[in-house]
Structure 1
Amino acid sequence: MVHNPVVVAALSAVLLAPLAAGMYSSNSPVLQLTSKNFAEKILKSNHASVVEFYAPWCGHCKNLKPAYEKAAENMNGLAQVAAIDCDDDANKRTCSEYGIQGFPTIKVFKPGKNGKPSIQDYQGQRTAKGIVDFLVEQIPNHVTRVNSKTVDGFLNEKNETAKAILFTTKGVATPLYKALAVDFLGSVTFAQVRDKETEVLKLFGVEKVPTFLVLPGGTAEGVVYDGEMKKEAMLKFVGKFAEPATGKPVAKDEKKAESSSTSSSSAPPPPPRPTFDPTIPEAPSLEAFAATCGNKICVLVVTPDSAHTLTAQEKTNFYINHARQTFPFFQVQGSKLSPEFMKGFALDKTDRVQLRALSAKRGWYVEYDGDSTSDEELKIWIDKIKMGEIRKIKIPPFEKEESATSPEPVKDAPAPEEPAKEVPKEEEPAKEVPKEEEPVKEAPKHEEL
């Protein structure tokens, strides 16, 4: 049979067109997006995501492909590296919604409040290293830092649900551990304990670090993990006690975990929690206030006017759940602050409560932009300050001035020391994000703690 070459070429073009349309193959580590799955995979995800809006014919897109796939491989299980073909008619509506005018355009989606992610253009280097370095910093941190002062409150809260605790030499949560907490967001509470918290280690019978254990909830004994400190294995272990927030249940057929052979892994019932006076003391003059805080971090609660007083719920949230266990809180009426102070700390005359955490010794402050009545938002804010994972603003110089309030420093407020930021120690050969420029020879996958 003689084949007409023109007909063969035409048929080949038709049959191969769908395969050539997308730039990334089905085996690519890059998550493939369409207009149909964009909201589910990106907008509703608890994970941070980077999305490339591209066209298959674009030369710059083709040049980016190797580095982008290397970044996706590196961030597997930690964050999402995704792409959407804007040349596909079915996807043009989505690309238009995000104002895509050139290719490739890379945007970063980070989970935000009320289920709405924050979106920003990626302006970093278009290399595997550049994308990985930036995306690692965007991983949400839902890991609670526990110490001897906060362990009782941590154990009492949500006692019927599972809690996972990592005992480690590190001062901050690793990308792997933060990603694990995101996987089980809402079903398992994750915490981290420094090795120097000897009282807490003794409470749980921990004799070496790293040690990872899960408290199933209620009166069930804690179970110590004895596998490798890698994401996939730890994910399956935690999945024995609760289902992940997203995706299919993990190890559902192994709901009942074996108890540790060491009986000391069980946490004894914590002592009854005392009742505290929820009164937040009035701040003295600014000069005396700074002297009171000394080298500590203090939190200033600014009320809008003399007619406003904190509600009982707000006082309870601030003082019992936060001030007593972390930093001393003081309140002051905004009308007693000078215009210079209001401007210097980015305060405004509104009908809402405003908070500023500040270190007089180190000369910085941190702004709180959440809901003053939200216990969960306050906890996240406090944890970020403790772990040094929040932007600090330099305190501007102020001239000394007389204040209408008492000049005496407050003596009855607890003043815990400011947590020191330390460089995390290595517990085993670390797999770091590659520091060399592209091409990346071996892209580590952050798969170990």
Structure 2
Amino acid sequence: MVHNPVVVAALSAALLAPLAAGMYSSNSPVIQLTSKNFAEKVLKSNHASVVEFYAPWCGHCKNLKPAYEKAAENMKGLAQVAAIDCDEDANKRTCSEYGIQGFPTIKVFKPGKSGKPSIQDYQGPRTAKGIVDYLIEQIPNHVTRVNSKTVDGFLKEKNETAKAILFTTKGVATPLFKALAVDFLGSVAFAQVRDKETEVLQLFGVEKFPTFLVLPGGTAEGVIYDGEMKKEGMAKFVSKFAGAAAGKSAAKDEKTAESSTSSTSSAPPPRPTFDSTIPEAPSLEGFAATCGNKICVLVVTPDGTPALTAQEKTNFYVNHVKQTFPFFQVQGSKLSPEFLKGFGLTVSDKVQVRALSAKRGWYVEYDGDSTSEEDMKAWIDRVKMGEIRKQKIPPFEKEEAVTPPEPVKEAPKEEEPVKEAPKHEEL
């Protein structure tokens, strides 16, 4: 019988604890902000955000709540719909910084090129449709339009980096595709090719639309996506190549090498998005490529242990890992014997936690109180500072590396068109 995962409980005490009392429940699609997480979730996010500054006793705020939650549900995975309770003493400083004098006040934060978001008051209709219409226009566009004149340059630029290309009848990028590009900003380049670009279509052998493929990088052939044209499936498909490309890039660039005793000597990995997915680690070598030169935190759970939710994963990063370490969760039964042996793991009915650098050949076992959140925080801090005893990972076998997907040479099956943002009439 599988015991309760007490270590995960300690890891995510902050994750599973109810959020501060306010107008929106913990089950609400609205992202709940505080002064402590405002910068990480909004100011430093690559996603566009709309933020409601409210007070629970405000009648207009209560009237807005149904429409605001409906907008949040419609924008899920595309942009962030969030709120902060200005009646909470701990949040009053943040509300004051943005000059909030009345409730509800709605502001839109759009990521800027300088690293600071542009901020503007939302003056549109306070309806779900009005908020969605406006927020869709604020989604950053990191999708490159490729044609016969620019395709060579696009393919040659950062050739070691994975590239995702959508062949479509649409002239502009949809909110869904733009949101995907935001999710993988910095790790995968996104492009769109119109059906009229016959030379580019012939280059890739594309005959049907939409066709979505990923070029893994280097000389590897493109791999065509054969699932539904929905964000969850497409994101999972792209993520298979994002980690491998990042690992290859890091290995080629000595300047990105990270000191094993400091987490501040190189840029942190891309921030997880609010709907990010925790990948699995199929082999030592595959895991090494996924982590690159970074220190990773690995949580190995027994079969039947529920995976952390997207909100819990985000909270783990914010409250514990501080955006420093990539975080992975995987069931022990899915790991090879070589992997288990390499990191001192066993197939167990208990949760096991490791901080490790697969590329540098060491790992650290969590040895704190399994019920203490403070012990977990202190352990993470010691790992970050290098003040902890490391254990050596034995050499792993090359043949256990992840086998790249077989290149697809035939045109894909007819797929449903890439859907635009939620239809407004459905709001």
Which AA in structure 2 matches 1:209? F
Alpha-carbon shift at residue 198 of structure 1 (Å): 1.0
Q: Quick check: which has more Rg, 1 or 2?
A: 1
User: Aligned partners of 1:239 and 1:232: how far apart in 2?
Assistant: 11
User: Aligned partners of 1:429 and 1:218: how far apart in 2?
Assistant: 28
User: Aligned partners of 1:198 and 1:429: how far apart in 2?
Assistant: 20
Change (3 A) 1:19 1:74: closer
- Identify the match of residue 262 of structure 1 among 396, 405, 409: 409
TM (normalized to structure 1)? 0.55
2:205 aligned partner: 205
CA contact (8 A) 1:140 1:178 kept: yes
RMSD (Å) for aligned C-alpha atoms: 2.3
CA contact (8 A) 2:210 2:418 kept: no
Which AA in structure 1 matches 2:157? E
Decide which moves more: 241-250 or 32-41.
241-250
CA contact (8 A) 1:85 1:91 kept: yes
CA contact (8 A) 1:183 1:245 kept: no
2:43 aligned partner: 43
1:251 aligned onto 2:398: no
What pairs up with 1:419-430 in 2 under 5 angstroms? 428=417
User: Aligned partners of 1:55 and 1:224: how far apart in 2?
Assistant: 49
CA contact (8 A) 1:166 1:191 kept: yes
- SS of 1:113 mapped into structure 2: coil
Which AA in structure 2 matches 1:156? K
CA contact (8 A) 1:239 1:252 kept: no
1:215 aligned onto 2:211: no
1:345 aligned partner: none
Change (3 A) 1:249 1:219: farther
Alpha-carbon shift at residue 263 of structure 1 (Å): 6.7
Alpha-carbon shift at residue 212 of structure 1 (Å): 0.4
Change (3 A) 1:229 1:132: same
2:122 aligned partner: 122
TM-superposition CA deviations, 1:408-428 (whole Å, max 9, x none): xxxxxxxxxxxxxxxxxx964
Question: Unpaired runs of 5+ in structure 1?
Answer: 1-17, 266-425, 437-441, 444-449
CA contact (8 A) 1:227 1:233 kept: yes
Which AA in structure 2 matches 1:175? P
1:233 aligned onto 2:258: no
Change (3 A) 1:210 1:185: same
Change (3 A) 1:435 1:26: closer
Alpha-carbon shift at residue 432 of structure 1 (Å): 5.5
CA contact (8 A) 2:53 2:106 kept: yes
User: Aligned partners of 2:178 and 2:418: how far apart in 1?
Assistant: 19
Which AA in structure 2 matches 1:245? P
Which AA in structure 2 matches 1:205? G
Alpha-carbon shift at residue 258 of structure 1 (Å): 1.5
Count of residue pairs brought into register by the alignment: 261
1:158 aligned onto 2:158: yes
Which AA in structure 1 matches 2:240? K
Change (3 A) 1:150 1:431: closer
TM (normalized to structure 2)? 0.58
2:331 aligned partner: none
1:103 aligned partner: 103
TM-superposition CA deviations, 1:270-305 (whole Å, max 9, x none): xxxxxxxxxxxxxxxxxxxxxxxxxxxxxxxxxxxx
Alpha-carbon shift at residue 58 of structure 1 (Å): 0.3
TM-superposition CA deviations, 1:184-213 (whole Å, max 9, x none): 001100000001111111101112110000
1:357 aligned partner: none
Which AA in structure 1 matches 2:224? V
Which AA in structure 1 matches 2:281? D
Which AA in structure 2 matches 1:253? A
User: Aligned partners of 1:250 and 1:20: how far apart in 2?
Assistant: 26
1:180 aligned partner: 180
CA contact (8 A) 2:210 2:417 kept: no
User: Aligned partners of 2:146 and 2:215: how far apart in 1?
Assistant: 15
CA contact (8 A) 1:236 1:250 kept: no
Which AA in structure 2 matches 1:220? A
2:24 aligned partner: 24
1:171 aligned partner: 171
Alpha-carbon shift at residue 127 of structure 1 (Å): 0.1
Greater RCO, 1 or 2 (C-alpha within 8 Å, sep 6+)? 2
Alpha-carbon shift at residue 261 of structure 1 (Å): 3.6
CA contact (8 A) 1:222 1:259 kept: no
- SS of 2:405 mapped into structure 1: coil
User: Aligned partners of 1:48 and 1:38: how far apart in 2?
Assistant: 14
TM-superposition CA deviations, 1:353-401 (whole Å, max 9, x none): xxxxxxxxxxxxxxxxxxxxxxxxxxxxxxxxxxxxxxxxxxxxxxxxx
Alpha-carbon shift at residue 113 of structure 1 (Å): 2.1
User: Aligned partners of 1:430 and 1:217: how far apart in 2?
Assistant: 27
Which AA in structure 2 matches 1:258? P
CA contact (8 A) 2:176 2:420 kept: no
What pairs up with 1:272-421 in 2 under 5 angstroms? none
CA contact (8 A) 2:176 2:419 kept: no
User: Aligned partners of 1:95 and 1:429: how far apart in 2?
Assistant: 39
User: Aligned partners of 2:99 and 2:201: how far apart in 1?
Assistant: 52
Which AA in structure 2 matches 1:208? K
- SS of 1:116 mapped into structure 2: coil
Identity of aligned residues (%): 82
Question: Unpaired runs of 5+ in structure 2?
Answer: 1-17, 244-268, 287-401
User: Aligned partners of 2:194 and 2:20: how far apart in 1?
Assistant: 52
Which AA in structure 1 matches 2:148? S
- SS of 1:115 mapped into structure 2: coil
Which AA in structure 1 matches 2:59? G
- SS of 1:242 mapped into structure 2: helix
Alpha-carbon shift at residue 262 of structure 1 (Å): 1.5
CA contact (8 A) 1:129 1:434 kept: no
User: Aligned partners of 1:253 and 1:234: how far apart in 2?
Assistant: 19
User: Aligned partners of 1:165 and 1:109: how far apart in 2?
Assistant: 28
Alpha-carbon shift at residue 430 of structure 1 (Å): 5.2
TM-superposition CA deviations, 1:149-197 (whole Å, max 9, x none): 1111111100010000000000000000000000000110000000111
